């Protein structure tokens, strides 16, 4: 049986609409059930992942539910202890809502986007034999801003029950005749109305590069556009880092940082050498300032996995390690947050933004000796081709028993190639560049897993060494030693998988795709 979608109508009277009770007579009648005030807070991730999946996360009366933005159906509510400013899906009680949000949001926090208060009256819709065929809600909606309330709109909402298609059609037609076709809204439109009233821009953030570069534009202009994009991503994530909302804010900040540094190092002549040197060093220094904080985040994210690797009796003794890690993270978070608030940092980023904006307005003198004037497509083909050949040359030179250093160096080569493909993706057909990125991604995942496991072991060895200056804890030392053994085994699996993975990457299909890409 088909689901009958919830429909809404804007009403100037809202909760006080006087004509509702007689609107459907004599076929149907309305029975007033309940008058109440209700506060609803709407949540989504920083990237609006739930909205992208046609879902709204609603917290009301200390319960949480998921609202389908297409049908208007709402899940059974789950009790909450409070209405927080943000929360992680993993902190919810077990059940359908937790499972769904963990699937959608993963390790991203759900952030409060706006809070609405509703003055509402609920009507039960009854047929001539007094059977319930649906519910009608008349409400006046207010935006809550601190201690103030601002009226948004009046709303009449029809929530039909399954099996009453004829009544649904009749009621919706009567409502449309009364309020006007232009007043009819679906649930998603109501959601957008609420966000707009709150001054919230839906889907206003996406870390993926989606610029439309012009092939014949001087590469200096294209580079400035790309660098302004990464600058914007860094700025967008600062408040989430400082607020410690979730670990992805720092991760995406660092990705934008690496993209910036990679572009400055790989695109020659886009700015004078002294400018390049200054900002490469400045962004390198920023990366170093947040390395320790990111390391803490990585280990905390792996906490459950680490406990699961070891036998329960041994894993139990890892607890002091993670307790100390939490203390260290707080210290590192404060240190880096203070830096992000500092005048030195703000001035540097503002000057960087001004430089990039100036490059768009005055891209340089048109002369053959200025590499910044070379067409973007020419630079894209040249730099991608060079980076591609380097990956293939270095990968083929790695023996069956690859060393840690060789795989780490190849990983860096792959990152540089991946960044170039992302930077210039809009200059090439998606059907060509898409598969190249996909093939490269598989190789990067193998190399990334290998290097990450090596780094984790190295850090754990360092921690064990630091225990010499602390009170003896042989149980923790044993647990960390066991963890290192298990991580080493996994690293060796990735090492053995490398040659097979690289052969899948270094094949005729990928070479044909790259040749087609570069010969366009």
- Write down the H helix ranges in 48-145: 49-52, 96-105
Q: Contact 29/126 with Cβ under 8 angstroms?
A: yes
Q: Contact 122/157 with Cβ under 8 angstroms?
A: no
pLDDT of residue 366: 54
**C-alpha closest to that of 276 among 355, 378, 219:** 355
Q: What is the DSSP letter of 317?
A: G
pLDDT of residue 268: 83
Residues in CB range of 240: below 8 A, 6 or more apart: 46, 246, 248, 249
Whole-angstrom distance between the N-terminal and C-terminal Cα of the chain? 52
The long-range contacts involving 342-347, CB below 8 angstroms and separated by at least 24 positions, are: 345/286
The encoded tokens of residue 266 equal: 């790989």
**C-alpha closest to that of 318 among 457, 487, 460:** 460
Which backbone phi and psi does 281 adopt, to 5 degrees? -65, -40
Q: Please count the CA atoms within 13 angstroms of the CA of 158 that sit on its side-chain side.
A: 29
pLDDT of residue 139: 92
In angstroms, the CA 102 to CA 225 distance is: 35
Residue ranges of domains in the chain, CATH in brackets = 7-197 (2.40.320), 219-519 (1.40.20.10)
Query: From first to last of its 520 residues, what are the pLDDT tens digits of the chain?
Result: 556 889 999 988 876 776 777 777 788 888 888 889 999 999 999 999 999 999 999 999 889 999 999 999 999 899 988 889 999 999 999 999 999 999 999 999 999 999 999 999 999 988 888 888 888 899 999 999 988 999 999 999 999 888 778 888 888 888 888 888 899 999 999 999 999 999 999 999 999 988 999 999 999 999 999 999 999 999 999 999 999 999 999 999 999 999 999 999 999 888 999 999 999 999 999 999 999 999 999 999 999 999 999 998 888 899 999 999 999 999 999 999 999 999 999 999 999 999 999 998 875 555 557 888 899 999 999 999 999 999 999 999 999 888 899 999 999 999 999 999 999 999 999 888 888 899 899 999 999 999 999 999 999 999 999 888 788 889 999 999 999 999 999 999 999 999 899 999 998 888 888 888 888 6
In terms of C-beta density within 10 A (0-12 exposed, 13-18 middle, 19 or more buried), how is residue 450 classed? buried
pLDDT of residue 169: 85
């Amino acid at each position: 049986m088909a689901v009958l979608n919830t429909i809404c109508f804007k009403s100037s009277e809202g909760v006080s609409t006087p004509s509702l009770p007689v609107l459907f007579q004599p076929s149907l009648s309305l029975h007033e059930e309940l008058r109440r005030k209700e506060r609803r807070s709407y949540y989504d991730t920083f990237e609006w992942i739930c909205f992208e999946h046609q879902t709204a996360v609603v917290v009301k009366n200390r319960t949480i539910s998921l609202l389908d933005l297409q049908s208007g159906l709402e899940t059974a509510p789950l009790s909450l202890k409070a209405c927080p400013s943000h929360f992680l899906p993993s902190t919810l009680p077990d059940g359908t809502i937790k499972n769904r949000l963990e699937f959608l949001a993963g390790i991203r926090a759900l952030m409060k986007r706006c809070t609405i208060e509703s003055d509402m009256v609920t009507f039960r819709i009854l047929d001539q034999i007094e059977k319930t065929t649906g519910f009608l809600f008349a409400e006046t909606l207010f935006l809550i801003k601190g201690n103030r309330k601002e009226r948004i709109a009046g709303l009449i909402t029809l929530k039909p029950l399954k099996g009453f298609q004829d009544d649904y059609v009749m009621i919706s037609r009567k409502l449309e005749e009364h309020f006007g076709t232009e007043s009819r809204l679906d649930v998603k439109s109501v959601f957008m109305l609420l966000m707009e009233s709150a001054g919230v821009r839906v889907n206003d953030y996406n870390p993926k590069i989606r610029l439309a570069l012009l092939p014949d534009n001087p590469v200096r202009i294209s580079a400035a556009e790309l660098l302004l994009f990464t600058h914007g991503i860094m700025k967008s994530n600062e408040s989430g880092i400082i607020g410690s909302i979730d670990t992805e804010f720092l991760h995406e900040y660092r990705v934008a940082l690496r993209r910036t540094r990679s572009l400055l190092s790989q695109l020659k002549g886009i700015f004078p050498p002294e400018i390049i040197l200054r900002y490469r060093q400045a962004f390198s220094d920023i990366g170093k300032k947040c390395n320790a904080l990111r390391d803490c985040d990585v280990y905390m994210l792996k906490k459950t996995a680490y406990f699961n690797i070891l036998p329960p009796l041994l894993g139990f003794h890892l607890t002091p390690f993670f307790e100390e890690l939490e203390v260290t993270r707080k210290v590192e978070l404060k240190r880096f947050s203070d830096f992000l608030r500092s005048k030195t940092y703000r001035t540097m980023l503002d000057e960087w933004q001004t430089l990039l904006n100036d490059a768009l307005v005055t891209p340089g003198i048109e002369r053959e000796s200025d590499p910044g004037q070379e067409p973007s497509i020419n630079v894209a083909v040249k730099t991608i081709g060079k980076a591609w050949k380097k990956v293939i040359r270095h990968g083929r030179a790695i023996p069956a028993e690859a060393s840690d250093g060789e795989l780490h160096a190849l990983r860096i080569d792959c990152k540089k190639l991946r960044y170039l493909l992302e930077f210039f993706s809009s200059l090439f057909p998606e059907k060509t560049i898409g598969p190249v990125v996909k093939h490269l991604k598989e190789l990067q995942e193998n190399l990334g897993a290998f290097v990450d496991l090596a780094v984790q072991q190295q850090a754990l060895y360092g921690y064990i060494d630091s225990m010499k200056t602390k009170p003896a804890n042989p149980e923790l030392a044993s647990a960390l030693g066991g963890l290192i053994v298990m991580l080493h085994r996994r690293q060796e699996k990735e090492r053995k998988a490398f040659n097979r993975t690289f052969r899948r990457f270094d094949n005729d299909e990928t070479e044909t795709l790259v040749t087609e890409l570069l010969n366009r």
